[in-house]
Every structure is written in structure tokens, then in C-alpha cells.
Structure 1
């Protein structure tokens, strides 16, 4: 089958699609023939995608922390576009802080989006997929879910919870023909990554990226063996594979896309 028809006739929901990895995922699914409902808390990014892919992509504003709003959007999507075949959880936030300085508000906000949001969306779609006997859920997590990171406790813990939740969901719905997997990126050139680069990086983005690739002994970070930071498209390709029939016998898998940065520890 031609690559641009791999997902023809299928409908996909993507959260956090306004920029970065989520935008790349939405584009990758459209390029493979899927009809995509692209959602984000901010409407601008998904609105631009809807203009670019008129007739193939629908933009919706969605707060994944609102269980009622999630349920309503999933119901509306299935009523208007038909059954959801694919769902990709990308919406996420990062609040960087040492544990002793981390506020209750930042901890709660991180889990609200990164964990509770994944639960709300996955629950809504998995129930319907299981009734039909088919479907694929992919959650974008992080390699920080498996390897400790300084200053990222809330993010790492929320992503670890999302990974295990997705595996448990996958086990429960496997007999009904629904597959649930996670993709765990490492450092990826997104706004979230750039936000980690401080004002001390006066020499610019390229120099900051080189430091990430080289690693940092002081913060116990290994470098990236493949010698480059990922592009959002690198993550989107992995997501598209797991969503497709090429991965029809893969479920409850956590696919690291980090250039070897964690040494698979």
C-alpha cells in the first residue's frame, strides 16, 4: 500500500496538536490518509493546521484536564466523523524545579495535564474502541519516565504514571482488539526543550544543542550517542508506525526515541 494511503479511511484524535510533537504527529497522520481531529488548549496552532489541510483536518479547542469536555468532544467527533480508530495523547507541560522548591501548584498542574489528561482521553476512546473490537491508542511520554532527571521530578513522575497507565489499559483491552503503546522521546527540538535552555546560552541554540548532545556530568546526564537532538518528525514517525497495521502485533510497548541517550537503563 502506498505510504500516503496507509491510514486511509481512518479517523484520528491528536491532543496537544498546536505545535511541536503534536503538530508533527497530526501532519504525519494526515500524510498517511487519516482524517484528523487536532486539539489543543490554544486554538491558534490547530486553526492554522485546519486551514492548511482543509477537509482532512478538523481543529478543536480542548482542555484535557476537563473530563466532561473530553467526553463531549469524543462523542461529537464520533457523531460527526465516525468511529475513532486512532488516538494520540501528546498534550503535556513541564514545570522545572528542584523537589525542595517545587510548589504544590506546579506538581498538581503537571499531573493534571500529563497524567490525568491521558486518563481522561484514553478512557473516553478506549471504551468505544473496545465495544467495536479495534483501535490504537498511543501516548507520548518521555525517556525521563525511566531515568531520573534533576529538576524534573514532577514531569518524570507524571510521565512514568502515564506509561504504566497506558500499559495497564493495553492489558485490559487487548482481548477486544485494541492496542495501547507509548513513545518516549528524549531531547527534541521543541518549545519545551528551548525553555530548558537558560539565558546563559548566549551563544545561541546551536551551542545549547551541542551541550545536550555532549551530556553533563554535573547533572548526571549522559549525552546522545547518535550525536543529534531529535526533530519532532522523528517522534511522529514512531507514533505513526505504532498506530498503523504494521504494528498490529505490538501492544503495551514503550518505544524509546532518544538517540540512545538513556543507554536503555
Structure 2
């Protein structure tokens, strides 16, 4: 798979899956725009891709700000001439049932997980139309396909991402814009151990997820990045509107 002439925008690029996606595309020679909120982490991520001798820039802001999304897309077009791939990886998690979920929990979860995908996709589609197409890959979750206790807002938001993916795929299929979702289960990233209601160790969380996964292990961020890379490749041009679980068999049962 080659992406050497592609311009790739990745949200949530400074940590976890997003950071792994950035490195995977950088290794193919793609030009990259890293989108994040933390300047220090962003600079580290930017420096880490310099070894691949690819063009890359960092843009800091809130993905739930539609004007920021427009700014990122427009800046990418101005610098690189086009947008080939958008990977919507930014997201947050709140581990609460409906009665436990506050108004702020709900709003923040949907702002980051759904509105960010919508705003960036809307801006990217407009740019992709002008250059003959492109690819959007949304990082959803297997809990957007099946429910899970204690994750009410997160499940709802990722389910919204899955159906938004399918709707966009149908709307833009004839414009040669593919839109797909990857749906990870447990992944060994900082998010896996974040936002728990009681203090837990990394080892405890990993073991809990290992025990509940048929393959007996959790995924690496690099594995999710590999699927993302494929869905954005020329080899996957005929794939659109799918939401692919990558969860070691959790959703197979």
C-alpha cells in the first residue's frame, strides 16, 4: 500500500490510536496534518514522524469547534493542495450509566465523539469533491455496534458515528469518497485506563479486558492503525459504508 502522494489529516493525533495512525501513514511517505489539543504532546508526535522524512504540521484546537475544523481543512489545502484522507480519531469516554451521567458528561461526549466527526467530515467532503474523491475513516468502537454496561453516553456516541459513517458513504459514493469506520474493542492505550469510577491499576484493567476477549489479549494501537491504513488505500476503493469490529472476537458472540 502506498500513500506517498496523499495528504492525511488525523484528529486525536497526539495520543493512542491517533498517534499510531500518524506513524503508520508517515512511514508510507504521506504528508500529514496532526490535530490535537495538547501542545507538548503534539510537538512530541510531530518530532516522532520526522524520522520518516515526510512533511507534517501540527494544528491545535477543539474538534467540536466547527470554525476550527474549517480552518484545518482550508490550511491543509493551501499548504498541500488537497485533502486525500481524513481520520477522525479524537474522542473521550465517560464510564457511567444513564442516571449517573451528568448533562456535562453527555454534552462533552457528543461534542468530542460525534460533533467533531461531523464538522471535520463536512469540511473534508467539500475539499475532496474538488480533487476527485478521497477517504474518510472514523474511529468508532465495538460498543457502537453492541451495548455495554456503564458506558451509556459513550455507546450512544459511537453508535451515532457508525450510522453517520453509513449515511455519508451513501451520500458520497458516486463522488468517489469512501467513508468507513473501524470499531475497536479494548486497545492498550491511555484511554483504556481513564475515567474509571474507582482507582484501578493498568494491570487490573488489562487483565479484566484480556479475560473478556475470546483471543485472550487486547489490541495494540498499531493494529488499529493498520486497518485504518488499508481502508484509506487504493486496494480498498470498493469498500465503503462498513463498520469493522477489531476486537478479538468480542462482537462475534
Q: What is the CA distance between 1:49 and its match in structure 2?
A: 2.1
Cα-to-partner distance string for 1:23-82 (whole Å, 9 max, x where unaligned): 000000111121110110112222112223335321111211100111012101100112
Q: Is it true that 1:23 corresponds to 2:12 in the alignment?
A: no
Q: 1:255 aligns with which of 227, 244, 249?
A: 244
- Matched residues in 1 for 2:193 and 2:8: separation? 28
Counterpart of 1:125? 124
Structure 2 residues not aligned, in runs of 5+: none
Counterpart of 2:151? 152
- Matched residues in 2 for 1:46 and 1:258: separation? 28
TM-score, normalised on structure 1? 0.90
Q: What is the CA distance between 1:208 and its match in structure 2?
A: 3.2
Alignment root-mean-square deviation, CA: 1.5
Structure 1 residues not aligned, in runs of 5+: 215-222
SS of the equivalent of 2:180 reads strand
Poorly superposed stretches of 4+, deviation over 4 Å: 196-201
TM-score, normalised on structure 2? 0.94
Q: What is the CA distance between 1:166 and its match in structure 2?
A: 1.4
Q: How does 1:44-59 map to 2 (within 5 A)?
A: 44-54=40-50, 55-59=54-58
Counterpart of 1:106? 105
Counterpart of 1:225? 214
- Matched residues in 2 for 1:208 and 1:156: separation? 19
- Matched residues in 2 for 1:197 and 1:120: separation? 29
Counterpart of 2:5? 9
Q: What is the CA distance between 1:196 and its match in structure 2?
A: 5.3
Alignment: residue pair count: 250
Note closer, same or farther for the CA distance 1:243–1:208 as it changes in structure 2 (3 Å cut). same
Q: What is the CA distance between 1:261 and its match in structure 2?
A: 1.0
Q: Is it true that 1:210 corresponds to 2:199 in the alignment?
A: no
Note closer, same or farther for the CA distance 1:52–1:101 as it changes in structure 2 (3 Å cut). closer
- Matched residues in 2 for 1:196 and 1:72: separation? 31
SS of the equivalent of 1:101 reads coil
Alpha carbons 2:38, 2:60 under 8 Å: kept:
yes
Counterpart of 1:96? 95
- Matched residues in 2 for 1:192 and 1:51: separation? 22
Counterpart of 1:166? 165
- Matched residues in 2 for 1:228 and 1:182: separation? 22
Alpha carbons 1:22, 1:91 under 8 Å: kept:
yes
Alpha carbons 1:163, 1:254 under 8 Å: kept:
yes
Counterpart of 2:36? 40
SS of the equivalent of 2:251 reads coil
- Matched residues in 2 for 1:62 and 1:167: separation? 27
SS of the equivalent of 1:132 reads coil
SS of the equivalent of 1:256 reads strand
Q: What is the CA distance between 1:15 and its match in structure 2?
A: 0.1
